[in-house]
Each structure stands twice: as structure tokens, then as C-alpha cells.
Structure 1
Amino acid sequence: MTLYRQLFTWMLAIFFLLIIAVTGIELNTTRNFLLTQQTAEVNNTINSMGLALAPYLESDDKVATESVINALFDGGFYQEVRLRMLSDGSEIIRQYPVTVDGVPDWYIGLDLFPVITEERTFTSGWLQLAEVVVVSHPGFAYKEMWSATIQLGVWIGILFAIAMFIIGLQLSRSLRPLALITNRAKDIAQNKFGEPIPLPPTSELKTVVKAINQMSKQLEDYFEQQAKEADRLREHAYRDAVSGLGNRSFFVGQLKSWLAESAVGGLVMAKVDLITDTYQNQGFEKGDSLVSQFAKKLNTTITDADYTASRISKDEFVILAPNGTNEDMRMIGESLLAIVTDMQQDPMGISPPKVAIGLVVNGAGNRDASVLLAQADNALTQARNDPNHPISMLDQAANDSSMGRQQWKSLILDAIAHDWFVFKFQPASSSDKSVLHQEVFSAIERGDEYFGAAHFLGAVEQLELGESFDRYVVSHMIGKLIDDPKMGPIAINLTQSSVTDASFIRWLTSVMQKNRALAGRLFFEIPESVFVRYPDHVGLLTEQAHRFHFGFGVDNYGRNFQSLDYLNKFKPSYVKIDFAYTSNLDDEAQTHVLASICRTAHNLNITTIATRVETEAQLNKLSELFVNGFQGFIFEKKVEHHG
């Protein structure tokens, strides 16, 4: 029971007891008055009867005596009148059937008024003439008493209703600061920090509110400092200080992650001789300024959320483009060439571009990082053979990855229309092997042809088919959850184009509203880059997810070099750590960064999940670094659901 209800109940109970006591006293006073009135009326009636009968009793006129009795007692509240003549012993008896209208039998059964019996002897001088007995009936008293009870009951009800309203209103006003304190305490327990609570007028609560506000601010500052510390460690380990891009360690981690996942896409390597010349001829300050300028322009060329850029040496830059096609690679190469040409400040266009750009398009076959980097070096060497257009491409793609955009579009739309999609589920488990959720992986089966998600997801984003694809997957999975109550929880990856699409957000909101019963069994996984680049769009979606109690997670946690304080803003259910942080657990610097970014999430009660956990040694090491969820071979139980 809440404090409000407890106080409200006790105050009403006390008020009720007081008003019942006052009512009891008032009713008892009314009863005593009516009883006294009834007794006096009987006495007055007998006295009047004696005066009226005296002449007739002396003359022994029985007829006149009987007439007087009839006149006196007809219509009154009397049960019986008995008159005995002492001269001859004769009696005159009158009995009256008295009924009480409008008074319930149970009320009369309370026996509030006794029957009053009065006896009197009429005399003339010393001569006794007659004896009379009058038995009253309390009907009038009951009638008046019932009327008084009804009136008091109505007034008691009105007063009680008014008292309930006033007590409830006053208690609400008095306890409002306490309710704010309680809600803020709940928020603090969930690491949610808002505006300070206004100080209440009550001196006792004012002290408590000040303490709560101070504690909330200190905790918020602590988490912000912790997030900033994690950012500093991460930047020191993985970010190039001059360009703001990822460094060689970051690139190697991303390259390993990509090759382990799909290896479908491309790699752009650019050696910018303009930067080398600037360092040699104009000094480090000018050289660093040029690097920073080039990095900013480079970032503007990267529109895909999965693409990452790194600076791997003084004048070498790489762009990793998962799912990128030949056309995508050429567009990036031409953009880089245009950037360097523009920075050379050669209005006449006489000087050749001081850059060499090597492009490599990789198929699903090559998963060797050293081979891929060697191919990129070869492409750079070949690029220098054409000084005026120093771009060269090595295309190692084959089969499905060389399909054109329209072919991919046709395949994906046909797969949605004809249910060619199949789904696999990979569990994310805690260290004790209990399943947190199962992640949904999509693939296309068309006859004997099989296309994994890594082959077509890039085309989904590039062709802006994310909304149609995600609607299909979400609808399909909801149908499976409804059909199988024991299934779940499951996590569905959403594409960037869906999360940033207003119509998809409206559709998903209506789906969550209609399927509230699935709230604990369905999660949505959103890339970290969307939280960083499109906070307003993703905020609309996550707000509705919180509203209907659907969980959501962050994919590629830590990949982007923006502050991690977005976690406190959006409050995801879990984060899936980018593989770059878990690929080399023997590196002490990397484990420090991993522990720091995981601690940031852990302290906000957010589950941290590591992927591609293959051995018990990895599991034990990660468990020491604030990682509490794992995906990988040692947990995987392959279960296929065909659409």
C-alpha cells in the first residue's frame, strides 16, 4: 500500500468514526426527546379525559362516557383504552389497530421506544368513580425517528463525500514532492537523470529534495566523466590524433571483422603525395593542417553507414566499404581524386594529381587480409602508371557479387513477393549458457542458388529497399511469434534507410501498438552510426519502443568515434560490441579500451554482448571485462525457420 493510500484511509476512517459518534449522539438526543414527548402526551390525554368524563361518571351515564372515550382516542397513536366503572364493575374497552406507514420493519425491530402504559383512578371528592388504563403506541415516535435518521444519513453522505475530496486533494498536494522524490529515485536506480526536482514548501521534504538533486547530479556527472574517459581511451588506442579518422589498429580490426563476416565489398587505398610534399616543404604544422582538411573532405564522401575511413600512415588513407560494388568503388575513387585536385590549388590544371588511388573489389572467396592489402598495393602501383588519372581497380568479385543494381533489385523484390527468404537464429547467451535472445539472420534461396545477408544487404541500402525488406522481416517474425508462444525473444536488425524513414517509423509504431503482448519477446537492433548521425530520426523510433515496452539494441557499439553518452539519452536494452575491440584480447591496450566502453554501458544497466566467441578462453577473458552476453560457435544451436 502506498503512503498516500495509507494516510488517506486512516484520515477517512478517523473522520468516519467522528461523524458516526456525532450522529449517534444526535439520534440518541432525538430519541430521548420523542420518548419524553410520548410520555407527556399520554399524561395530558389522561388528564383531559378525567375532566371530560367527570360529570358523566358522577351520573353513571355509560353512553356519554363511551362517546367521550371514542372522541378522545380515535385517530391517536394508542393501542388500548380500558375504563372500569367502580360502581358496578362494568368495563368499557377500546382497542385501536395502529399501523406505522413509511418505516421499515427492521427499523421498528430495533425496539427504540418502549410501550407506555398509564393507569389512573378518577374520583369525585373522596369517592372513587372509575379506573382507566391507557396503552400508547410508539408509531409516531418511530416515524419521526426514521425521518430524522434519513436526514442525518443524507447529510453524513454529503459531508463524507466532501471530506473525501478535500482530504484527497490536500494529501495529493502535500505528498506531490514525495511522489516526485519517489519517481526520481526509481529513475536514478535505472540511471535516468532529468531536471532537478523543484524545492517543496515543506522544510523536511526540502532537505530530502536537495539531497536527491545533488545525488542525481553527481551520478550524472560521474557517468558523463566515465563516458568521456572511455572516449579518451578509445581515441588514444584507435583514433588518429591529426585527422580524427581511425588509425592503423582500428583499420586492422575493422578489416578482420569484415573478412570474418562476409568479405564482400571493396577497399580503397589512397597515397596522397600532396601531404608528403607539404610536410617536407612547409613543415609539420602545415602538413597537419592539410591532413585535417583532407580528412574532413574525405568524411563527406562517405555516405554509407557501414563504410569506415582510416589513416594508416603519414600520407596513406583507406576506406573499407562492406558490400560496395565496382560502381561504388569508382565513385569513391573519383571523389578522392577530385578532393586532392581541388586542394592542389592549380587553377590551370597543368600539374598532375599528387595522389595514387588503388581500388580492390573482393568476392566471397578471399578472406586473407594480407592478400587483400597486397592487391591494394598492386592497384596503387598500377595507378601511378597513369599520372593524369591515377586510379586503378583490381576486381576479384565473382558470381553474385558482380550482379548489377537492377538484378539485385529484381531478386530482392521477387524474394519478398514469393517468400524466398529463409531465416536462421543465432543465440546471444550469458556466461551460464542461458539465452538472452536469438538474432535473426536472413538469406535468399532461389532454387539451387543461395544468397546470404552479406551479399544483398548492401544492395538493400543502396537501392533504398530497406523499408520494404524490414517490413517483410518484421511482419514474418511477428507471425512466427504469434504462432509459437514459446518462441523468443528474438532480435531483428533494422537497416539505416528504414530507421530514417518516417513512414516506416509510423508503420512500426502501429505494429508495436497492435502487438503489445510481444513486447518482451521482440527486440530491434539498430546500427550505432544511426544513433550518431541521425539522432532525431532514431529518437522517434526508440521513444515509441520505450512507450510500448519493446527492447532495442545497438549494433557495432564503439565503431564510431563520437561520444558514448548517447547511451544515456536513448537507453537501449543491450549493445553489441564491434568486433574490432574483441579481435585481439592479448593486446593489453585493446582490453583496457574494451573494459572502459563496456563499463560505460554496464553502469547504465545495459547488457553488453560480444560476437564471434569461439573458445572458453575468449569467454573467460571477456567475462572479466564487463561483457555479460556472448554470441558465437560455443553457444550456437543452429535452428532454421523457412519462410
Structure 2
Amino acid sequence: MTLRQQFSLLTSLLVIILLVGNLLVMVMNGRDYFQQQLNARAYDAATSLALSMSQVAADDEVQLTRLMDVLFDRGFFAVIELQRIDNDPIYRRSRDSAGEAAAPRWFMQWVGLEMIAAEADVTRQWQRLGTVRVISHTDFAYRDLWAMVRAELIWFSWVLVVTLVLLQILLSWLFRPLARVERQALAICERQWQVQTDIPRPRELRRMVLAMNKMVQKLQSIFTEQSAMTEQLRAESFNDNVSGLLNRRGFDQRLQHILERGEEHSGVLMLMQLQNLSALNQSQGRQVVDDVLNMLGTELQRCLQEFPAAFSGRRSGSDFALYIPCADKVQANELLQQMFSQLATSVLSRRQELVFHLGGVFLQALQDDPVQALSCADAALRQAQRAPEGRAQLYQADNAATVQEWTAGQWHELLLGVLEVNALQLQFLPVISNRNRRLLQFEVFSRIVWQGETLSAARFWPMVEQHQLAARYDASIVAQVLAQLKQQTLMSGVTYCINISPASVLDEPFHQRLTELFRDAPQLAAHIALEVPESSLNGIETALARLALQLKPFGVSLGVDQVGTGSMAFAYLQRLPLDYIRIDGSFNRGLHQAQDHRFFIQSMVQIAHNLDLLVLGEGIEEADDVAVLRQTGVDGMSGYFFSKPLPSLAEAHQWQLPADDA
């Protein structure tokens, strides 16, 4: 029972008790009054009749009867009788109650007027002739008393109704601050820090609202401090404070994770060197150089915005590095020349009196040696510095294996053909719960099977985004996962995580397509999770929030992947309706040897758990890293240490964690 109902019930009981008590007192007082008046009237009538009969001869029965009739016909008396002293015949007149009851029978029985017979002696001179006995009629008393009770009941009913209505209005006004406090508390659970500005006047409610506001501000301050500390740790450990890009350690760490994680990668690694930065420092001062480096870092970040998985860093004073996913060597060379042109016509134009060169190497394999990759890129940089005709050079190996290359038109035709024949192949990577070592999620990966060749997402996805087919591919993957789930027995508590492209998030028809898919399979929607990379949130946060609101009725989960690789402040964790975050594998690789990585993950776990978010770790390959990651408090983990991606959903549902790994 709600507090409002309790107040209403208690008030109603108090009003009813007061009204019933007042009614009882009124009825009892009325009964006593009527009873006293009726008895007094009977006594007066008996005395008056006895006096009149004393003037009539004792044997004149006609006259005596007339005197009795005159008094009786008034209707106020039930019994009038004369009994002579010599026991001669008694003259008595009586009348029963009227045919129509003066009041309900139960009321008359409850009230029970007690009428006393009034007696008076009839005398002549000193001789007693007889006795007159008179009893008052009660019909009038019952009728009047019942009319009074009925009027009081009507009045009391109106009072009760009006009281309850006024009480509800009063309670609505009083409980309005409580309702706002409830919404405020629920908003905290939804990671929204609402402060009430409408402070109630009643002292108790005012103190409660002010205390709640103070708590909200304190929680927001704690979250802000935690986020700022974690962001500062990330910046100090992995970012260059002048250019705003990754430092040497941060860039090498991410590059190593991509090249050595055992999944196929496809991209171009670029090295850039500014030739006369030292001369500029000597001639114009350090501050001018710092401004140039800062503008260069800003321009590089702007150039890489259209490549969600790309990243850049400053390796030394005048050396910069970039990694951009691409499909093949042709696209790698196009990206290299495009990057050179953009820099040469903007921040590094000839007006800046800076000469720069760009060298790159195309990397495509299951595993590559980061040191060898950097050596090849450096060799290309040296080739660009020696070449008189240009300053951007792609590394050309003498013994490079022949790899089939496609033009942009051929890629477009290939990708459209895959969509038409539904040639996407899905793989499923288990995510293990840290609490009970059971399945928590499956990460869904996509492959293309085309003309007998299998292409990983690392190879074909850059071309998907270049030809603006990301929304169609993402919708196709979601539809294929739902179709396979319909043919399998659902696993309780297990979700299937699908990474969607930022371009899809910005595409309104993609939103509508997802709504249609989940509306057709509402029982499966709660088993689907959609996630986006953290590095892309800066441009899609509003669209992502709109998509989450649209999919919320279906129970679809929302997550952020590659946490720690973006430059966006962690405040997005409270702005977006997220369900989980996934720490990037570059922080988990070699975790047992990196204390700052461990502290960063522990900070993220604390922040996320305060917001009721699950924290997952990916890219686990070593037992030592697993042990340390479990100590940080993450909720789940995945990686080749537990399992490689499983080729079908049927095998995924049959997969079990080996006893040695549990």
C-alpha cells in the first residue's frame, strides 16, 4: 500500500469515526429530548383531562367519552383510558401506529423510545371517582428523529466526500516533491545528474529535497573526479602533450596489438618526418615549434576522422606515424598520396617553410612483426627523401608475394555481389564471465566468401565504408544473426554483440531497417547487442542516443568497443544509455608487466560499475594477463587464450570452456 493510500485511509477512518460519534451523540440526545417531551405532554394531558372529568357527573358517560375523544383526536396520544374506582366498565381509547411506518423498523428498535403512562385521579369534592391514564404516541417522534438522522447522514456524506477530495489535492501538492525526488533517484540510476530547482516550502520536504540535491552534486563531483583522473592517466601514459596525438609508447602498443593479435589485418603504416624543425626552433623559438606541432596534430586528427579505426602518433621530435586500415596496396598508395596532398596544402604548406616526407608500407597478414613493419616504413621514408620527383613513397619489397589487387570499381562490384547472394559468413568469439566462468556473450565477426577466397573484415571493410555500403552490410549481418538464432535454442543470459559502423549510426534508413528486423523477431531482440568503437563517438553521439532510444522497447543492448583508444572524455558514459563497455585489447596485452595499464583498467571498472555498466576485456592471449585482468574486477573477457572465433552458431552453442582455463 502506498503512503498516499495510507494517508487517505487513515484520514477517512478518522473522519468516519468523528462523524459516527457525532451522529450517535445527536441520536441519543434527540431520543432523550423527545422521550422527555412526550412523557411531559402525556402527564399534562392526563392532568388536564382529569380536571375536566371532575366537573362531569360520574354517570354521564357520553360527556366523559366526548372529553376523551377531543383529546385523542389530536393524534398525539396512543392510549387514553378511564378506570373507575368501583371497577365498573373502563372507557379506553387507543390507536395503533399509522399504516405507513414513521421510520425503518430497525431504527425504531435501536432507538427504542420508552413511554411512561401518565396517570391522574378524577375527584369530586373529597371523593375519588377514578384514574385517567394517558400514553403519548411515538410516531411523530420517530419520524422527526429519523428525518434528523437522514439529514445528518447526507450532510456527513458530503463532508466526507469533500474532505477526501481536498485531501487528495493536498496530498498531490505535498507528494509532488517526493515524486520529483523519485524521478531524481531514477535519473541517477540512468546516469543523469538532475538537480531540483523548485524547492518546496514545508520544512521537512524542503530539507529532503536539499539533501537529495546535495547528494546528486556530490555523486556528480565524484564521477567527474574519477573520469578526470582516468583521462589524465591515459593522457600522461599514452599521449603527446604538445601535438595531442599518441606518444611513441601509445602508438607502438596499438600497432603491436593489431599486428600480433592473430586476426587478419590490412592497412597502411605511414612514417612522416619534418626536415628543418630544428632550424625553425633555433630561428623562431620553441613556442612557434610547439604551435606548429599542435596544428599538425589537429590536422592529422581531422584527416583521420573518416577512418574510424585509424590512429596517429608522434614518435619523436620531428617523426610522426599513422596507421589507416585499407583493402589492398592500390588503396594504400592512394591513401599515402592523399595524406601528403592534404598536409602539403594545409598546415605544412610552403608558407610554413617546413619540408616533410612521407613513407608507408602496406601490411596484410595474420601476423606481422611490428619492428619489421616500422623498418619497412622507414625504408620507404628514406626512398621518399631521396626521390627527386616526389616526397611520398610506398615501400616496394623485392620479394613481395603476388597478391590479387582490385580497382575501386571491381571492389564495388564485388561488394554489391556479396549483398545480392548473401555471401557473408559469420564467426562467433566467446566472452567468458569473470564471476562464474560461464558464457556471457558472443562477439560476431564477418567474413566474405567470394569465388573460393575468404576475405576478412580487415580487408574488405575499408572498401565497404569507401563505397558507402556500411549500413547495408550492418543490416545484413543483424538479419543473418537473427535468422540463425531462430533455428537454434536460445541460451539464457547470452547476448550476441555486433559491431556497427559509425556511418550506419548516422544513417536514418538503417534505424528503420533495424526497427523492422526487431519488430519481426521481438523474442530475439533482447539477445542482441550493438556496439560502436569509442574513437567514433565524437561525431555520432547524438545519432547513437537517438538509435538507442528507438531500440529500447525491444530490449536491445548498447555497448562501446575499443575503450581507451578514443580522445573523447569519459563523460559520455553517463550521457549515453549504455549497457557495457569493452576495454581495447592493446591495454590487456602484457597487462602483467604494465602497472599503469592495470591502474587504468581498474579506474575504468570503478567508473563503469558506479554507473551499472558491465566491463569486458578483449584480446587476452596469455595466462598471466588473464590472472591480472580478473583481479581488476572486469565482468568478462575474451581472446585466443580461451577460444578462436567459432565458424558457426551451432558450434558456438556447443562450445564449453576447457577445465584448465576455467
TM-score, normalized by length of structure 2? Answer: 0.78
**CA deviation after TM superposition for structure 1 residue 180, in Å:** 5.2
Q: Which residue of 2 aligns with 1:488?
A: 493
Q: Which residue of 2 aligns with 1:391?
A: 393
Q: Which residue of 2 aligns with 1:118?
A: 117
Show the 5 A alignment for 1:365-376. Answer: 365-376=366-377
Conserved in 1, the CA contact under 8 Å of 2:361 and 2:373? no
Match of 1:289 among 264, 270, 291: 291
CA–CA separation in structure 1 for the residues paired with 2:349 and 2:5: 77
Q: Which runs of 5+ in 1 are unaligned?
A: none
Q: Which residue of 2 aligns with 1:271?
A: 272
Conserved in 2, the CA contact under 8 Å of 1:610 and 1:627? yes
RMSD: 4.6
Distance 1:617 1:36, change over 3 A: farther
Conserved in 2, the CA contact under 8 Å of 1:430 and 1:628? yes
Show the 5 A alignment for 1:513-592. Answer: 522-542=528-548, 551-570=557-576, 572-585=578-591, 586-592=593-599
Match of 1:620 among 627, 645, 656: 627
Is 1:149 matched up with 2:145?
A: no
Give aligned pairs, total.
634
- SS at 2:294 equivalent: helix
Distance 1:24 1:87, change over 3 A: closer
Q: Which residue of 2 aligns with 1:500?
A: 506
Conserved in 2, the CA contact under 8 Å of 1:180 and 1:197? no
CA–CA separation in structure 2 for the residues paired with 1:99 and 1:578: 97
**Structure 1, 89-98 or 550-559: larger mean CA deviation:** 89-98
**CA deviation after TM superposition for structure 1 residue 80, in Å:** 6.3
CA–CA separation in structure 2 for the residues paired with 1:374 and 1:120: 137
Is 1:309 matched up with 2:315?
A: no
CA–CA separation in structure 2 for the residues paired with 1:69 and 1:522: 102
CA–CA separation in structure 1 for the residues paired with 2:161 and 2:429: 60
Distance 1:170 1:368, change over 3 A: same
**CA deviation after TM superposition for structure 1 residue 497, in Å:** 2.0
**CA deviation after TM superposition for structure 1 residue 232, in Å:** 1.9
**Structure 1, 66-75 or 27-36: larger mean CA deviation:** 66-75
- SS at 2:111 equivalent: coil
For 1:464, the aligned partner's letter is Q
Q: Which residue of 2 aligns with 1:641?
A: 649
- SS at 1:240 equivalent: coil
**CA deviation after TM superposition for structure 1 residue 209, in Å:** 5.4
Q: Which residue of 1 aligns with 2:251?
A: 251
Conserved in 2, the CA contact under 8 Å of 1:425 and 1:639? no
Distance 1:116 1:204, change over 3 A: closer
**CA deviation after TM superposition for structure 1 residue 433, in Å:** 1.6
- SS at 2:649 equivalent: strand
Distance 1:22 1:439, change over 3 A: farther
CA–CA separation in structure 1 for the residues paired with 2:322 and 2:455: 25
Show the 5 A alignment for 1:77-156. Answer: 88-89=88-89, 94-96=94-96, 98-101=98-101, 103-109=103-109, 111-116=110-115, 118=117, 120=119, 123-125=122-124, 126-128=127-129, 132=133, 134=135, 136=137, 138-156=138-156
Conserved in 1, the CA contact under 8 Å of 2:240 and 2:247? yes
**Structure 1, 209-218 or 479-488: larger mean CA deviation:** 479-488
Q: Which residue of 2 aligns with 1:409?
A: 415
Identity percentage over the alignment? Answer: 21
For 1:410, the aligned partner's letter is L
- SS at 2:362 equivalent: strand
Conserved in 1, the CA contact under 8 Å of 2:227 and 2:607? yes
- SS at 1:270 equivalent: strand
Q: Deviations over 1:519-558 (max 9, x none)?
A: 9755432321343333332333445667887642221111
CA–CA separation in structure 1 for the residues paired with 2:286 and 2:499: 45
Distance 1:179 1:59, change over 3 A: same
Conserved in 2, the CA contact under 8 Å of 1:360 and 1:393? yes
Conserved in 2, the CA contact under 8 Å of 1:613 and 1:634? yes
Conserved in 2, the CA contact under 8 Å of 1:426 and 1:440? no
Conserved in 2, the CA contact under 8 Å of 1:240 and 1:247? yes
Is 1:426 matched up with 2:447?
A: no
For 1:612, the aligned partner's letter is G
CA–CA separation in structure 2 for the residues paired with 1:141 and 1:522: 81
**CA deviation after TM superposition for structure 1 residue 65, in Å:** 6.8
Q: Which runs of 5+ in 2 are unaligned?
A: 653-662
CA–CA separation in structure 2 for the residues paired with 1:261 and 1:287: 40
Conserved in 2, the CA contact under 8 Å of 1:100 and 1:143? no
**Structure 1, 225-234 or 504-513: larger mean CA deviation:** 504-513
**Structure 1, 488-497 or 52-61: larger mean CA deviation:** 52-61
- SS at 1:534 equivalent: helix
CA–CA separation in structure 1 for the residues paired with 2:488 and 2:165: 49
